[in-house]
Structure 1
Amino acid sequence: MSLAIEIVQLLIQSADSWLFEGSRSGLSDREWMALRFLARANRFSRTPTALASFLGTTRSAASQIAAVLQSKGLMVRKPSAEDKRSISLCLTSEGERFLERDPINALRDQLVALELPDQSRLRDTLRRVLDGLDVAQRRHRSDVCSECMFLIESGEGKDRRFKCRLFRKSLAQKDTALLCAYFEGRD
């Protein structure tokens, strides 16, 4: 049990990179989380509802966070290409440049310095821990399309194709590395 407590304490200390009081570079930690999510979200997940789900908050609170990002020129609201009744939350080029000052980059740089096998083990271990927490707390998490049960792959080489069964839409290979709020893990 003492090893588990030590790991929890280390995770809490590392969380200082992305959970903080006040603001850093003019954004609160929740606004940074929203900006990061929108930068990595697939086209189906750039909605106020998906953002609220990712942040674990109400749609109203997520819309307020999006309004702050929009007022700072970091994001814009656009009519959805998929459903004209809804909107997409899209980063501006200023928002993409702003992410270069993300406080979490220091943690990312430390992880990049690890050997690749250590990075893979840490990722896989944290995924298992998060899966257990999600089940225990009955919540749903976002993850990358390439790990989702809805992703269908066909063909090989240049003829390789990807499709989301849930949305019945084609995906570019690069989109399979993006976050999806509708993710369902493979069993």
Structure 2
Amino acid sequence: MTPDLTHTRDLVDRLFRLSAAGDWAEALNPTQRMALAYLARANRFSRCPSHVAEYMALTRGTASQTLKALVRKKLICAQRSPVDGRSISYKVTEQGALMMRRITVVEQVLQTMDTDFVRTFNAQLEIVLRQALLLYGKKPFGPCRSCQYHEKTGSGAHCGLLNEPLQAGEDQQICQEFAQEASDIKVAGA
């Protein structure tokens, strides 16, 4: 019996809408909440407006307006690059970090479920997301520790692509330069 893919898509869409509706209660619209969540998890190499736009599949203009709103709400602050003095990246403020610690409705539901179920559910969603990203030719983003460029050193970790040492905890964060090992990439239908 073949699965009802329309039903699957409808379930994912409905869950997203339910989650987004709950985000409005926090004085953030769903796009602002997702941008804040991304910045809270992104490493220092991945916090500029174009990275937010790419991760969220937004136009640069929409991403820029979203980031400006988060700055006005004092949930993030802008920082100029010490290298060129022109490019801007964003950092989550204490107020923004506090906002991100609030549990969403979807997280409340998942907390009541069996741990193994949640792990399996996450793994399956990641496979679907990676396949969709491949089909659309989008970057996967991912944690430094799982990247093919991640190198362990005696003093911590290092990014082989950017030739930069990673700060404490950065190997757990999302990077826009993330590249999976070729053996980890699953191709649709394989």
Give TM-score scaled by structure 1 length.
Answer: 0.84
Provide the identity percentage.
Answer: 24
For 1:118, the equivalent position in structure 2 comes to 117
Amino acid at match of 1:89: Y
Shift of 1:160: 5.8
What is the one-letter code of the residue matched to 1:63? S
d(CA) in 1 for partners of 2:97, 2:22: 23
TM-score normalized by the length of structure 2: 0.83
The secondary structure found in structure 2 opposite 1:54 is: helix
Which residue matches 1:97?
A: 98
The alpha-carbon deviation at position 7 of structure 1 amounts to: 3.1
- Equivalent residue, structure 2, for 1:30: 31
Partner in structure 1 of residue 152 of structure 2? 153
| Aligned counterparts of 2:24 and 2:129: Cα–Cα separation in 1 | 27
1:173 positional shift? 4.9
Structure 2: which 5+ runs fail to align?
Answer: 183-190
Quick check: 1:180 aligned with 2:179? no
- State the aligned residue count: 181
Query: SS state of the match for residue 64, structure 2?
Result: helix
* Residues 65-104 of structure 1 aligned to structure 2 (within 5 Å): 65-81=66-82, 83-101=84-102
The residue type equivalent to 1:65 in the other structure is T
**What is aligned with 1:170?**
165
Give every structure 1 segment of 4 or more consecutive aligned residues whose post-TM-superposition deviation is greater than 4 Å. none
Distance 1:34 1:186 in 2: 27
Shift of 1:21: 10
Structure 1 SS opposite 2:63? helix
* Distance of 1:110 and 1:49 partners within structure 2: 33
- CA–CA distance in 2 between the matches of 1:113 and 1:80? 43
Amino acid of the residue matched to residue 164 of structure 1? C
Return 69-78 or 141-150, whichever deviates more: 141-150
Mapped to 1, the partners of 2:51 and 2:178 lie a distance apart of 11
Please tell me whether the aligned partners of residues 133 and 140 of structure 2 are also in contact (alpha carbons under 8 angstroms).
Answer: yes
In 1, the alpha carbon distance for the partners of 2:174 and 2:84 equals 19
* Aligned-partner SS, 1:90: strand
* Contact preservation (8 Å) 1:21, 1:28: no
The one-letter amino acid of 2:60's match is R
In 2, the alpha carbon distance for the partners of 1:98 and 1:22 equals: 11
